Amino acid sequence: MATDLGRSGGLLRPRAARSLLSGIARARWLPAALGPLQALVPGPRRNSFLVVALHLVNGGTGLPVDIDRSEFEELLDSIAEYADPVSLADAMDGSESHAEESNGGKLRFVLTVDDAFRNFSEEILPLLVERDLPATLFVPVDFVEGARAAPLPCDLPALTWDELREIQSSGIIEIGSHTCAHLNLPGMKLNEIAEDLARASETLSREMDREISSFCYPRGLWSAAAAGVVGQFHETAVIGGGRWVQPSSVDRLRIPRFPAKSGCCHIFRSLLGSRVWLQEYVADKARHSLARRGLY
């Protein structure tokens, strides 16, 4: 729906459409608009899994993706009541019958953390270790190497390669690629995407001494053409979109996630009962529409 608003001949003039899409993309007034509808969305199907996207915990940045420690713990408690923790690889490995056999069709969840801030080892990892929760950490190579600024508007430092190796040695954290430059892939030429992904993949597998099978699109922005390139380097790739995942039917290069945002953790318990989080689903469509116009 939102994707048609700004086209020429659409319902609104370009500037009005842009400002409407920006509001939706940042989810400024969507909660009020979509709240009553959310209760009507059916629950997740048997065997499905939920992927949570985290960025920062207690980082003190004031960014929407920087959540308090108490919110993080509440989020983990809510999900644990509802679903079993698994790694991304195990979740995707489960064909319908395998999942049915192994866990009786119970719902599962996967934790992912983007951007490789040192905040991960300071605030997030201790809680994951304490609860024995597996997670995938997506690393933007140029940020770790000091060649580019942080992928979020803040001055928090990146993890170092030594710290990343130590994190990997915990045995519960998989290291994934988040590209080198953390640019919007749909806005790049295919050969530029391939160059960036090849360098990221080579650097990460050398530094981590293992194959890098998981990938995360910067800012969740993907296109069919970009996914074609990603598939040459990685087994699985995650996006946004706020939907539960059905392993038998999901596109392994476009696995949806629920973003953890400040102020949203208290509603997670109710969101878990819906197969789609409408606010995030619509905001994600708006972000892609803006990105196609070079405005996001």
Binding site for Zn ion (CB under 5 A): 114-115, 151
Q: Which one, 47 or 179, has the nearer CB to Zn ion?
A: 179
Closest separation between CB of residue 264 and Zn ion, Å?
18
Q: Which one, 5 or 158, has the nearer CB to Zn ion?
A: 158
Q: Which one, 158 or 286, has the nearer CB to Zn ion?
A: 158
Q: Which one, 114 or 284, has the nearer CB to Zn ion?
A: 114
Q: Which bin fits 105, alpha (ψ -120 to 50), beta or left (φ > 0)?
A: left
Closest separation between CB of residue 218 and Zn ion, Å?
5
Closest separation between CB of residue 133 and Zn ion, Å?
21
| Local structure of residue 82 (DSSP, 8 states) | H
99: amino acid identity, one letter: A
Compute the C-alpha angle 54/156/71, nearest 5°. Answer: 35
Q: Cα separation of 56 and 52, whole Å?
A: 13
Closest separation between CB of residue 85 and Zn ion, Å?
22
Closest separation between CB of residue 114 and Zn ion, Å?
4
Q: Cα separation of 118 and 57, whole Å?
A: 11
Q: Which one, 152 or 265, has the nearer CB to Zn ion?
A: 152
Alpha-carbon Rg for the chain in angstroms: 19
84: amino acid identity, one letter: D
Q: Cα separation of 185 and 234, whole Å?
A: 15
